[in-house]
Amino acid sequence: MYSKVLLLRFPREIVNKAIVVNLVKRFDLSFNILKATIYPRKEGLMVMELTGGRKNYNSGVRYLKDLGVKVESIGQDIKRKEEKCFHCGVCTAVCPTGALFIERPDMIVAFDRDKCSACELCVSACPTKAMEVNFDKSLLD
């Protein structure tokens, strides 16, 4: 099984179409919607975890792109400012996916973008504000 958290941007022309359900029907994929803001006649934004066989996953992502959906790995919008991080580990305690973890034996905080679900718990927990989320949050409000 292959699984990845994706940021999907739906053009306003297609937000009213049943697109995500086709990932299940046509490509035998499962999904978990983590965040979504989709309004009529406006760009839609969805953060979802997509899971299935690698071949089906790739076919499903190609289907989305062919429809005009912009598909990005969520890690592209999550940044850690290395110069601000002093590796206290507070973020690792709140990270539900294990994207932030202590690398041993060096005892430094490491960040795996591919595991990140953009929950933003690390942003509020970090005492130095070293974590940053850059996707358009106005779409999520």
pLDDT tens for each residue of 88-139: 999 999 998 898 999 999 999 998 877 777 778 898 899 999 988 765 544 4
- 66 or 49, which is more confident? 66
Q: CATH 3.30.70.20 region(s) of the chain? A: 76-136
Residue 22: per-residue pLDDT: 93
pTM: 0.60
Residue 15: per-residue pLDDT: 85
Average pLDDT across the chain, whole number: 86
**Does the domain spanning 76-136 belong to CATH 1.20.1250.20?**
no
Reported for 80-85, long-range contacts at CB under 8 A and 24+ positions apart, including other chains, are: 80/111, 80/130, 80/131, 80/132, 81/129, 81/130, 81/131, 81/132, 82/130, 84/128, 84/129, 84/130, 85/109, 85/126, 85/128, 85/130
Residue 102: per-residue pLDDT: 95
All residues at 6 or more sequence positions from 82 whose CB lies less than 8 Å from its CB, including other chains? 130
CATH of domain 2-68: 3.30.70.260
Q: CATH 3.30.70.260 region(s) of the chain? A: 2-68
